[in-house]
Structure 1
Amino acid sequence: MNYRKTLNINKNAVANSFSKAADHYDQFAQLQRDIGLQLLHPRSDGNVKAILDLGCGTGYFSEKITQIYPHCEMTCLDLSAAMLAQVGKKNLVQVTCLEGDIDHLPFSANRFDMIFSNLVLQWSEDLPLCLQQLKACLAVGGTLYFSTLLSGSLNELTQAWKSVDLQPHTNAFLSLESIKNALQQAGFTKLTITTETRILSYQSVIAVMRALKGIGANHVHGHRAVKISGRNLIKLLEQGYLPFVNGRGELNLTYQVCYVEAQK
């Protein structure tokens, strides 16, 4: 079964959303750190000399990876110049920052021994093509480690918005089957794939929306972002969220997470 689903993503708008969040991203990114730490397993493989942090954000994991591999050459690629500016503040001597798009990689073949990418590939317009490029720039025997979100993520917020209108206010995510098919199309055969469900809870609808905006993940493909304003809008969202209030009176927000280890 061939998987091929391309998205029309306004990459400038995505970059703008993340750039606006860059200064305060780390204040809101606990989930991203927890998932990234699950993805990052300290290794002592001395053959790892060139590493790509794909969609590096503020460089939180770039710094950790260079601590594990103190003699490696690290390339940090991100769509947002403001995020890369945050990486620069860490003064990581063996790191080169590069502004770029995950769907149009500028690297030569067999360039990296390891690629690390935490919660980034859900922003790809064409995942099989993106994975093909990643495989090409991996050295023989190199490994791609990535996490991404699966369908069902943000379901509570998606359903709550339906009490307001029928327009999409959250992005759709790929199924696990689609991820597997994309990996197969890219030519990866040595795969380890695991999944988990993470549920966060918030005090209010406004807190939910602020959390997404705080990490720059509030851009919805093909639609303008909706600002939370007006009592009627908030009341409608709160009403739509009622089925997803937990026993503590908090609002649940679910993330379906996929972890992949793929060797070339």
Structure 2
Amino acid sequence: MTNSVKFTIDKIAVANSFSKAALHYDQFAQLQRDIGNRLFTSLDTCSLDSREPGNCLDLGCGTGYFSGKLINEQKIKEVICFDLSSGMLNVLQNKLLQNKRPLSLRCIQGDMDFIPFSDNQFSTIFSNLAVQWSSDLSRMLIQLKRILASGGELNFSTLLAGSLKELSDAWLTLDSYPHTNTFLTLADIQQMLAEVGFTKVTIETETITLYYQNVLDLMRDLKGIGANQVHGHHLHKSQGRSLINKLELGYAKDKTRSGLLPLSYQVCYIKAIK
């Protein structure tokens, strides 16, 4: 029996949040790029026995930064760019139209919890900071293994429990409702991967901490990448400047000596072979 941890996620609200952020996403997405670049270095498509490298699925592709890298820097025939957000895919398609050298990229809108692809279709699945938006990761991993070819690679990064802790703690000084997403523990993910039955799994973790001058800059950063939508979202009764001032006070205990506000991310990198 697969270990199942389910989240209630309003997928329409998540899609709308990322679509609103799509046009300016790239200017706020340095953290996503840094994490994705580390994940990218773990790819080893040349080791997929002696057959020609096949298709790659970029799961939660966003504006397609890594989709392009997969074509340009890896021996991939075609990349399927799959995302919940129509706005993100529109930005990606506009990039392709402006590109003088056509890329073998195909955009498909859909929900990662309902994978629409056939068995054994992909030699590689790449997913950077997307699977935390799955309602049921254990069920999704079963689907991802199904669509991987024998010997194929699943490479994904995600956030672990403890991410955004400073912001969560600041919110707790205002009320007891969740205002940041709930993330799985490393033990949860390890158990899920083991029960799905990949032949080889490699996991690495790191903590990345960003620093902000004030809460407003921090919240703008989260909104800029579309990550302001929360599982079981609850609006605080205070709004605007009043809310920001209260959060600043709640954040006071975590301020650095120089007055900066830290925001930490517990990052997990996984390579799994079918």
- Same fold by TM (over 0.5)? yes
Does the 8 Å contact 2:4/2:136 carry over to 1?
Answer: yes
**Deviation of 1:2 (Å):** 5.4
In the alignment, structure 1 residue 62 sits paired with structure 2 residue 67? yes
Q: Tell me the equivalent position of 2:146.
A: 136
Q: Distance in 1 between matches of 2:79 and 2:149?
A: 15
Letter in 2 for 1:40: F
TM-score by length of 1: 0.95
Partner of 1:197: helix, strand, or coil? strand
CA-to-aligned-CA distance 1:86-107 (integer Å, 9 cap, x gap): 1112225311100011100000
Select which of 104, 118, 121 maps to 1:108. Answer: 118
Counterparts in 2 of 1:221 and 1:44: CA distance versus 1, 3 Å: closer
Query: Relative to structure 2, which stretch is displaced further, 90-99 or 212-221?
Result: 90-99
**Deviation of 1:230 (Å):** 3.8
**Deviation of 1:233 (Å):** 2.0
Q: Tell me the equivalent position of 1:25.
A: 25
In the alignment, structure 1 residue 97 sits paired with structure 2 residue 102? no
Q: Distance in 1 between matches of 2:76 and 2:36?
A: 22
Does the 8 Å contact 1:44/1:68 carry over to 2?
Answer: no
In the alignment, structure 1 residue 87 sits paired with structure 2 residue 92? yes
**Deviation of 1:70 (Å):** 5.8
List gaps (5 residues or longer) in structure 1: none
Q: Distance in 2 between matches of 1:173 and 1:106?
A: 25
Q: Tell me the equivalent position of 1:120.
A: 130
Does the 8 Å contact 1:28/1:215 carry over to 2?
Answer: yes
Letter in 1 for 2:196: A
**Deviation of 1:243 (Å):** 1.4
**Deviation of 1:69 (Å):** 3.0
Q: Tell me the equivalent position of 1:39.
A: 39
Q: How many residues align?
A: 264
Overall identity of the aligned pairs, in %: 54
User: Which aligned segments of 4 or more residues in structure 1 are displaced greater than 4 angstroms?
Assistant: 224-228
**Deviation of 1:227 (Å):** 9.5
Letter in 1 for 2:273: Q
